[in-house]
């Protein structure tokens, strides 16, 4: 029996204070699992095992009134808690307040109530896992939804007032025509708009979203004019509803992409659900604001009738400002031609790939379409036969082989209202082109643009119909050099883009950019 016990020298016993103080007997030789468990416990709480069976101090909780802190911390409702044994029982103790937080009874009641209420509101409105920019987006969304909802209430009141101003016998016919014209034509316009600009919801999301928001704000202004011109009620209401339906179509089409940019843990359903909660609550606050304004001026009908015209410019400005700032906090990870061009320009100039947040800041909303006015703009698509095609472009097409999935050439933009012919770079994609080919082609186009901007001898390259063979040779040498540079950088570029969270599976192109050519081997 003694030899059996010595065969397991790693087994040690603990002298627990709340257990019997009798020494362990040799019967434990048949229960090695219990001894293994106690040894594991000693190791997990950083207690060094001692030689022998009854030697050495016990675990931290074996001493009277001793405190044992376990290396296990959990986060619950925004609080940081740790498992503590206080000598009598195991407890979860808050670590937010430092050493003094081990006794929760000393916390200030009001301070605790405010903190708990804040955490509850945050859990109600905010998803569990979202990026840092989400909070800024929600703050501006609050501003936008509150004042937009208040304006809609005031506009609805104005339309009811306009119906009351007209002839009483015209009310039934007005209601019938309102259904046919206001709702029917509005929905039809919504379908036409959605079908015509479907690809723009992906490639120019922020610009389209803000543009339709401006349209929505103008539609409310039209509805506010109906009491002033009651004889044109149906016309004004129909035009306003068409604008609202177009704005609603854009909002619904782009919401999923906006929510997906915040779903960093693939929790798109949670982000969408919280967005609906935010919308309902913020809109209700807008209803309360409009009700408060009506209560303040209910005793003066003249002021009440003029109230919408006074608050409309203020509320509209705040509404549009909130939308604009909220879109600035949306960092889309999908690649479009414009975003990819920003990334490639940064790669050429600084040798690094910018993050989605940096690209979002540089991309902006471009509400006035000012970014296309740069020198040597890059366009993706096919050659336009309505404009003059340079000889270099025709030579580029002539030199194509079956192994080429794109080609880069020069084009002249045809503008009848101006005498100038702005020059640009055209990237033509072939049917079956993959993501790597698009990135390579656009990177080559960016390299070519940099060379054209650095040297003045290429200023008239698009008009070089009678240029010498030396000019053509230098041009095609530039094409070959930039193509090799683009292929060399592709692997490292894609690795950096993937590490920063860019979606490399697809590149979103507009309807015009999706025009591709097919290779015919004659």
Task: Give the bridge partners for 424, in sequence order.
Answer: 411
Q: What residues contact 378, with CB distance under 8 A and at least 6 apart?
A: 341, 424, 425, 426, 427, 442, 445, 446, 449
Q: pLDDT, tens digit, for every residue of 383-400?
A: 887 777 778 888 888 888
SS3 readout for 264-295: CCCCHHHHHHHHHHHHHHHHHHHHHHHHHHHH
Specify the 3-state DSSP secondary structure of 94.
strand
CA-wise closest residue to 42 among 25, 56, 28 = 56
Predicted confidence at residue 461, as pLDDT, reads: 60
Average pLDDT over residues 442-454: 92
- Please give the share of the chain, as a percent, with pLDDT higher than 70: 74
Predicted confidence at residue 459, as pLDDT, reads: 62
Question: Does residue 224 carry a pLDDT above 60?
Answer: yes
Predicted confidence at residue 108, as pLDDT, reads: 61
Report the interhelical angle of 233-262 vs 133-165 (nearest 10°): 170
Predicted confidence at residue 105, as pLDDT, reads: 47
Identify the residue whose tokens are 């179509």: 249
Question: Does residue 273 carry a pLDDT above 90?
Answer: yes
CA atoms of 479 and 451, how far apart (whole Å)? 10
- Please give the share of the chain, as a percent, with pLDDT higher than 90: 43
Q: pLDDT, tens digit, for every residue of 3-59?
A: 444 443 443 343 434 444 444 444 444 444 333 434 443 444 444 444 444 445 556
Predicted confidence at residue 416, as pLDDT, reads: 47
CA atoms of 141 and 121, how far apart (whole Å)? 16
What's the distance, CA 38 to chain centroid? 51
Q: pLDDT, tens digit, for every residue of 128-148?
A: 899 999 999 999 999 999 999
* pLDDT band, residue 504 (cuts 50/70/90): very high
Identify the residue whose tokens are 């979860």: 92
Predicted confidence at residue 460, as pLDDT, reads: 60
């Amino acid at each position: 029996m003694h030899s059996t016990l010595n065969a397991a020298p790693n087994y040690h016993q603990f002298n627990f204070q709340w257990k019997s103080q009798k020494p362990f007997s040799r019967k434990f030789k048949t229960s090695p699992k219990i001894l293994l468990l106690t040894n594991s416990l000693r190791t997990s709480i950083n207690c060094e095992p001692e030689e022998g069976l009854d030697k050495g101090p016990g675990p931290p909780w074996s001493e009277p009134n001793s405190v044992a802190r376990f290396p296990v911390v959990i986060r619950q409702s925004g609080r940081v808690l740790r498992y503590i044994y206080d000598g009598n029982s195991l407890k979860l103790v808050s670590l937010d307040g430092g050493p003094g937080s081990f006794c929760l009874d000393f916390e200030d009641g009001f301070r605790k109530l405010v903190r708990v209420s804040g955490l509850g509101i945050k859990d109600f409105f905010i998803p569990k896992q979202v990026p840092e920019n989400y909070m800024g987006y929600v703050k501006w969304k609050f501003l936008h939804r509150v004042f937009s909802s208040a304006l809609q209430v005031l506009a609805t009141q104005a339309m009811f007032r306009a119906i009351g101003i007209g002839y009483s016998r015209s009310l039934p016919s007005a209601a019938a025509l309102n259904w046919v014209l206001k709702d029917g034509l509005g929905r039809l316009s919504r379908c036409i708009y959605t079908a015509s600009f479907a690809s723009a919801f992906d490639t120019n999301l922020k610009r389209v979203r803000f543009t339709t928001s401006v349209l929505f704000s103008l539609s409310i202004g039209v509805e506010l004019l109906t009491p002033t011109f009651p004889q044109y009620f149906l016309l004004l209401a129909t035009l306003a509803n068409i604008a609202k339906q177009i704005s609603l179509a854009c909002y619904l089409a782009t919401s999923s992409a906006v929510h997906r940019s915040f779903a960093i843990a693939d929790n798109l359903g949670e982000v969408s659900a919280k967005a609906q909660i935010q919308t309902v609550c913020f809109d209700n606050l807008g209803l309360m604001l409009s009700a408060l304004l009506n209560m303040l001026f209910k005793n003066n009908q003249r002021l009440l009738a003029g109230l919408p015209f006074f608050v409309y410019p203020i509320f509209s400005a705040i509404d549009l400002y909130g939308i604009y700032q909220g879109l600035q906090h949306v960092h889309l990870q999908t690649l479009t031609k414009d975003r990819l061009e920003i990334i490639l320009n940064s790669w050429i100039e600084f040798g690094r790939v910018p993050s989605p947040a940096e690209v979002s800041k540089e991309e902006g909303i471009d509400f006035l379409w000012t970014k296309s006015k740069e020198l040597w703009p890059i366009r993706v698509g096919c050659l336009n036969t309505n404009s003059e095609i340079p000889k270099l472009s025709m030579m580029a097409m002539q030199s194509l082989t079956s192994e080429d999935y794109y080609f880069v050439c020069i084009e002249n933009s045809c503008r009848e209202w101006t005498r100038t012919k702005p020059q640009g770079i055209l990237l033509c994609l072939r049917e079956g082109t993959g993501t790597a080919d698009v990135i390579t082609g656009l990177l080559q186009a960016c390299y070519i643009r940099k060379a054209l901007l650095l040297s003045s001898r290429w200023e008239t390259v698009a008009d070089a119909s009678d240029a010498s063979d030396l000019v053509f040779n230098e041009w095609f040498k530039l094409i070959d050099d930039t193509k090799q540079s683009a292929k060399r950088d592709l692997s490292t570029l894609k690795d950096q883009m993937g590490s920063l969270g860019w979606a490399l599976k697809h590149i979103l192109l507009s309807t015009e950019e999706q025009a591709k050519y097919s290779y015919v081997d004659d």
